[in-house]
Amino acid sequence: MAQASPGEIKRLFIDADHAGKGIGSKLMELALDDALPARTGAVKILALLNAAPFYEKWGFRQIARTVLPDRDEGLPPIDIIEMKKVF
């Protein structure tokens, strides 16, 4: 699944059983089309640590390290990386 809004990729996930089959790349293309139809400007994404290498292959670079926002009280924090790519 992939979800994007102008300037931001909000979600991009594939089932681990289907990794390495090009599905993530196809979803990234679709998400980028939604985030920046003209492919000019900048796109941000909040990435789980294990997903950062995938986004780096697409030219995204780390701009901050933080925790996943909007977690229910009492749940442990999840470390994430804020990444950005300028086209």
pLDDT digits (tens, 9 = 90+) for 52-84: 999 999 999 999 999 998 889 899 999 999 999
pLDDT digits (tens, 9 = 90+) for 9-28: 999 999 989 999 999 999 99
Per-residue confidence (pLDDT) for residue 8, from 0 to 100: 97
Q: Residue 83 forms beta bridges with which residues? A: 45, 62
pTM of the predicted model as reported, rounded to 2 decimal places: 0.88
Mind listing the domains of the chain with CATH numbers?
2-86 (3.40.630.30)
Per-residue confidence (pLDDT) for residue 70, from 0 to 100: 86
Integer-rounded Cα Rg, in Å, for the chain is 13
Per-residue confidence (pLDDT) for residue 50, from 0 to 100: 93
Residue 39 has pLDDT above 90, yes or no: no
Per-residue confidence (pLDDT) for residue 56, from 0 to 100: 97
Q: Residue 46 forms beta bridges with which residues? A: 82
